[in-house]
Amino acid sequence: MKVKRVHSSLVLVLLAALWFSALLGLILIPHDAELPVHWNIHGDPDLWAPAWLAVLFMPLTGTFVTLFITALQTFGDKSKVDGGFYIVRSARSSVLALLLGIQVTFLLIGLGEPVDIMSVVATGTGVLFAVVGNSLPKSRPNQIGGLRLPWIMQDEQCWQRTHIWTGRFMMLSGVLLIFGALSIETPELLVTAILIAALFPLLAGTLISLRWRSPGH
């Protein structure tokens, strides 16, 4: 219960920060300004939106994610989802932190400050991978999080061993991605690093699960 309260408090703080930053953006950024909201693989903006919409998008997204997870936890079939809620809670906080990082980037761009959005996203994604990876070994077979391949779902021992190692690989990928975000200057290489960091734990976890797969599954 203590861990749950900590997660809930963190979520409220992050949501409040998102909406407060949106209010600052609406006040400080000229209303007729446009902000980039999407960047291509080369790190160049290729989609723009009115400033008011750009600064509201992240808080709205964070609020939707929070409400959706709360509804799932409240109204979902507990026998199918409880085993994955440690993953979901960790991911929720990390996603909100990533959204806040992007939101601050929008504000800085709107105020004329140069910001490397690719490094911000890569750093936030690395933190997300590390936090979620830490939560994977604490999960049980469920319908909402983890490697939910048929033979893993049907064997709790296979699930535990698979997610212990997948979690370790995911934390390693996250830490390496954070270092990459701080050292890699080429946007294309940074995007490649994000993709590798995302795919490596999944592929490694799948191969490990085959090693522990029970006969007949």
Report pTM.
Answer: 0.88
**Distance between CA 77 and CA 200 in Å, rounded?**
31
Q: Kindly state the DSSP code that residue 213 receives in the 8-state scheme.
A: P
- In order along its 217 residues, the chain shows pLDDT tens digits of 555 555 578 999 999 999 999 999 999 999 889 999 999 999 899 999 999 999 999 999 999 999 998 888 888 777 777 788 888 888 999 999 999 999 999 999 999 998 999 999 999 999 999 999 999 999 988 888 888 999 999 899 999 999 999 999 999 999 999 999 999 989 999 999 999 999 999 999 999 999 887 665 5
Domain boundaries, the chain: 2-211
**Distance between CA 150 and CA 195 in Å, rounded?**
25
